[in-house]
Structure 1
Amino acid sequence: MVQFSSLLSGLTKNMSTKNGKKRRINLGREATESLAKEARKNGLLLTSPGTVSAIWSNNYVSAYSKGGNKGINQDCVIVWEGFGGKEDVMFCGVFDGHGPWGHLVGKRVKKVMPAYLLHFWQEAMVQRSILKNGELFKNANFDQFGVWKESFLKACSTVDYDLELHPVIDSFYSGTAALTIIREGDLMVLANVGDSRAVLGTTSDDGSLVAVQLTVDFKPNLPQERERIYKSGGSVSELEDEPGVSRIRASNDETPDGPGLALSRAFGDFFVKDFGLISEPDVIQRTITTRDRFVILATDGVWDVVSNEKAVQIVSAEKEESAKKLVEYAAAQWKHKRRGLAADDISVVCLFFHSP
């Protein structure tokens, strides 16, 4: 059995209180905000363009975001090295808001998701622990990925509940996609809600750099997503002025009116939450090897105009400003490939696994 981090000291007492789940979560958020403040002061928490490279870490991260031509930039990013006070854990994410309040929804999810994730991770760790001589130890069949997956699922559900009850932010016709990642040692856990995408840059047998798409773009026309939507009473359709763009609608009529949503998973957007839209993340894992060089997290403003292979090529060419270079290239491609259309917001986080 392996001893836990001191981060969990005294947590069993907190877990056994009768103040209810909401109070425990609020206490967890307060603790996380304190950790975040300290991390920001030490240059380990980034929520705007920049880089993070802790001297004790194997990670190097480059992040950048640029607004399109649709108004205020509704994208945002986060990078947190030493997540939750643990030096071997990193949390990253890109958030792509949409709708009239999308910029506020994205920022809200970016703010509360780390706190909820850390809270449920602590709960899961305690539930899988043994108390011995006042110390917490992992049990013999401890499942590292299982703990993170359970924590992500609970955190995302709570984030959506937080939005639904928010007294100021109106998320009925607004929402956000969110793609987040945890790196703990050699384990990489990705949780995807929406159509942002993670692409791995790794080395093949012949030594060449190749792109491997890790996540699914959750669009309403995917067979498994469409089936769920129909079973929930919703519909999936394309309008004549948007060929190739499938949207969830809250009606099964042949000529549905009202707004539709071009995502099958998102936070917020409660006008279609009863018609097949879910905020449940697809949670996957990958063990990082010496062949894996970096992973790119990017909103669909990149992938609508840039291939996986080209993105990996750009990021591999210049590590320090890799995110900015990819964003600038995507912005130029919008002008070239989508002439006459308003460019989308573009955000990128590049996580390199082996710092120099």
Structure 2
Amino acid sequence: MDLFDDLPEPTQTPDQPPNTNEEEEDKRLKRKRENSECHSDKQEQEEEEIKRVSKEGHPVLRGYVAARRGEREEMQDAHLLLPDMNSCLSLLPGDVSRVSYFAVFDGHGGSRASRFAADHLHQTLARKFPSGDPENLDKLIKKCLLDTFRQTDEDFLKKASSQKPVWKDGSTATCLLVVDNMLYVANLGDSRAVLCRTEAAADGPRRPVTLSLSKEHNPTIYEERMRIQRAGGTVRDGRVLGVLEVSRSIGDGQYKRCGVISTPDLRRCQLTANDRFIILACDGLFKVFSADEAVKFVLAVLQEGGVEQRSELIKEELRFEAACQQLASEAVRRGCADNVTVVLVSIGY
């Protein structure tokens, strides 16, 4: 299902005349990217990339992360932030200039499934990503995401079944893939993604609104429960076989015969200049925060003063970093005993 298809596309900026110095700098940065790991986040390269993407009219995305163990004995969450995934891709399709990827994985029964997904899902995505000049990029990207989740699940289950004793870990997954200004969200389980967007109000200035970008999968939802029962499983106390809280996951080999699947829910949203940030977090956050409360909490921190007088870019980064850290800490303060991982993605133009 597509989200927000009724929104107008962002106004395109006119093409700029070529600049020899900028072209030379772009070539130098390209050589650096080819020689670096896809996790590289060198400040010089990042700043030059921001300038380039801004000129092309695409959003500038920056990711911030905060993780808290809570009262658990082990941190079973995992995450990955790739604001620039281009260096992981062999060839970009058509007129695409930038691909970004952010993900949160909430493990259960151990941390091996979540860490495996964090290490491998984006690599599988890069191998399957459309290349050349496809006519229907949107459908191909959605197929790519479905194939990537299936392959990641199969690869982990193969590894898990070869261990002695067999690994029984599982993990949710919520992934953001941004292709220029088009956002694709793929999620399974109960981790969530929400977008803060400003909208015009009839009685005055623009106001922030909270938009859900993901769909929760648990056995109490009618469609999920019916699938589990058709597969021969049961739902007791809101859990699969009275044990598993989610109805879709990566791993959980012992529940696959009971209707637990690894097929993600896919949604699409075109980013605009009215978008402020995305919160991507495991259920540890949303056990003590509603989506709207989390967005308002971040906005309050962003509006606070007290940031050192530095460049505007640095001040903005410090505010988002503070908002991310404070949101995770507040979840623990409110009594969440679960692991809490929050990824905050700022959106700028």
**Does the CA contact (< 8 Å) of 1:105 and 1:171 recur in 2?**
no
- Percent identical pairs in the alignment equals 26
| 1:133-172 aligned within 5 A | 136=132, 138-139=133-134, 142-166=135-159, 167-168=162-163, 172=167
Distance in 2 (CA, whole Å) between partners of 1:171 and 1:150 is 31
| 1:78-157 aligned within 5 A | 78-85=80-87, 88-99=98-109, 102-121=110-129, 124-125=130-131, 136=132, 138-139=133-134, 142-157=135-150
- Please report the TM-score for the alignment, with normalisation by the length of structure 2: 0.74
CA shift, 1:267, in A, is 0.6
Distance in 2 (CA, whole Å) between partners of 1:202 and 1:67 is 30
Distance in 2 (CA, whole Å) between partners of 1:150 and 1:248 is 28
Q: Residue 55 and residue 325 in structure 1: after superposition, are their counterparts in 2 closer, same or farther (change >3 A)?
A: farther
Distance in 1 (CA, whole Å) between partners of 2:61 and 2:174 is 18
| 1:13-28 aligned within 5 A | none
Amino acid at match of 2:118: K
Q: Residue 62 and residue 272 in structure 1: after superposition, are their counterparts in 2 closer, same or farther (change >3 A)?
A: same
- Structure 2 counterpart of 1:68, from 67, 70, 82: 70
Distance in 1 (CA, whole Å) between partners of 2:35 and 2:276 is 27
Distance in 1 (CA, whole Å) between partners of 2:42 and 2:194 is 26
CA shift, 1:302, in A, is 0.3
2:236 equivalent to 1:234: no
**Does the CA contact (< 8 Å) of 1:53 and 1:59 recur in 2?**
no
CA shift, 1:324, in A, is 1.0
- Tell me what 1:12 maps to: none
Cα displacement string for residues 76-103 of structure 1 (whole angstroms, at most 9, x for unaligned residues): 111012214266111100010001xx21
**Does the CA contact (< 8 Å) of 1:171 and 1:268 recur in 2?**
no
Runs of at least 5 residues in structure 1 that lack an aligned partner in the other structure: 1-33, 45-51, 126-135, 239-245, 250-258, 336-342
- Tell me what 2:219 maps to: 220
Runs of at least 5 residues in structure 2 that lack an aligned partner in the other structure: 1-32, 51-59, 90-96, 303-319
- Tell me what 1:247 maps to: 239
Partner SS state of residue 180, structure 1? strand
- Structure 1 counterpart of 2:347, from 315, 329, 353: 353
- Tell me what 2:22 maps to: none
- Tell me what 1:325 maps to: 326
- Tell me what 1:25 maps to: none
Distance in 1 (CA, whole Å) between partners of 2:283 and 2:166 is 20
- Structure 2 counterpart of 1:201, from 196, 208, 217: 196
- When structure 1 is superposed on structure 2, of 35-44 and 110-119 the one drifting more is 35-44
Amino acid at match of 2:338: D
Instruction: Indicate the RMSD between aligned Cα atoms, in angstroms.
Output: 2.3
- Please report the TM-score for the alignment, with normalisation by the length of structure 1: 0.72
Cα displacement string for residues 263-291 of structure 1 (whole angstroms, at most 9, x for unaligned residues): 01001111110111001111110001121
Amino acid at match of 2:297: I
- Tell me what 1:180 maps to: 175
CA shift, 1:184, in A, is 1.3
Distance in 2 (CA, whole Å) between partners of 1:218 and 1:324 is 27
Partner SS state of residue 349, structure 1? strand
Give the aligned length: 275
Amino acid at match of 2:71: N
**Does the CA contact (< 8 Å) of 2:112 and 2:169 recur in 1?**
no
- Tell me what 1:27 maps to: none
- Tell me what 1:301 maps to: 284
